Amino acid sequence: MTRIDDKFAELKAAGKPAFVTYVMAGDPNYETSLAVVKGLPAAGVDVIELGLPFTDPMADGPTIQLAGQRALAAGMTLNKTLALAAAFREDDQTTPIVLMGYYNPIYSHGVDKFLKDAGAAGIDGLIVVDLPPEEDDELCIPANNAGMNFIRLATPTTDAKRLPKVLENTSGFLYYVSITGITGAAEANADAVAPEVARIKAETDIPVCVGFGIKTPAVAAAIGKIADGVVVGSAIVELLGNDKSPAEVLAFVKELADGVHGT
């Protein structure tokens, strides 16, 4: 059992959906990023997705791309991202952290070394968007063997034939992408998402979290009624891109959390 498994079990017992937030590590700089990450649990966040900056984030829209560019320009690296997670863990041993990014920096670091270093830093799970299930031997299975969840994405185009393969080695939770396209491109629609979540849940006991296109407390609340968790990223990252202070960012996060947990 990982911290992710424990958190979802705790929330299920309480009858609440999880509130999952994404922030880019090092955006706009290390100090501000750490202040935001440290403040997320008190703002009502159940699971933290920590973005790993990368030069070619092909699944992300302009908001996340620019966040990665800001972080890289400020000197953020994989090692500094893990250092940020370790600094968070000095004060918080319970909130799950999922590292989300692309395979190239991990491959360059060395898979075995990465899993050792990530585990030591307190990382509980991975989302690596450019590694399909056919490449599970690369990182997914080694991560699972190291006691780390490997979280997979499903989309509106993941049909009944493809879904079992996607679910095969997924653990922690399944991330359902509510829209076709890149992050931040459109607004999620709970009525459209509900049957897709039900279809996936009929095939697995893994919690299903919905992300992409969730920008307001009202939409977050609506998604929370039909899923095991709600993921918000671009709407939060955009505030950092607009030079909002950690306090202002966390106040918005608290509004979102109240929407999700009010369900």
- If you write DSSP's letter for every residue of 24-50 in order, what string do you get? ETTSS-HHHHHHHHHHTGGGT-SEEEE
Strand partners for 229: 18, 209
Number of domains, the chain = 1
Helix or strand (DSSP H, E) at 219: helix 217-224
Among candidate residues 27, 60, 136, 228, the one labeled active-site is 60
Q: How many helices (H) and strands (E) does the chain have?
A: 12, 9
Is the alpha carbon torsion for 157, 161, 164, 166 positive or negative? negative
pTM: 0.95
- C-alpha to C-alpha distance for 149 and 24, rounded to whole angstroms: 20
Nearest to 181 by CA among 18, 64, 52: 64
φ/ψ bin of 147: left (φ > 0), alpha (ψ from -120 to 50), beta (otherwise): left
Instruction: Kindly report whether the peptide bond that precedes residue 28 is cis, defined as omega within 30 degrees of 0.
Output: yes
Would residue 49 show up in a list of annotated catalytic residues for this protein? Answer: yes
- If you write DSSP's letter for every residue of 59-77 in order, what string do you get? T--HHHHHHHHHHHHTT--
CATH number, residue 227: 3.20.20.70
pLDDT at 61: 84
Among candidate residues 5, 27, 46, 49, the one labeled active-site is 49
Q: Which domain holds residue 122?
A: 3-261
Apex 6 CA angle, 168 and 212, nearest 5: 60
Q: pLDDT truncated to tens, each residue of the chain (263 aa)?
A: 899 999 999 999 999 999 999 999 999 999 999 999 999 999 999 999 999 999 988 878 899 999 999 999 999 999 999 999 999 999 999 999 999 999 999 999 999 999 999 999 999 999 999 999 999 999 999 999 999 999 999 999 999 999 999 999 999 999 999 876 555 556 778 889 999 999 999 999 999 999 988 999 999 999 999 999 999 999 999 999 999 999 999 999 999 999 999 85
- C-alpha to C-alpha distance for 123 and 5, rounded to whole angstroms: 13
Would residue 60 show up in a list of annotated catalytic residues for this protein? Answer: yes
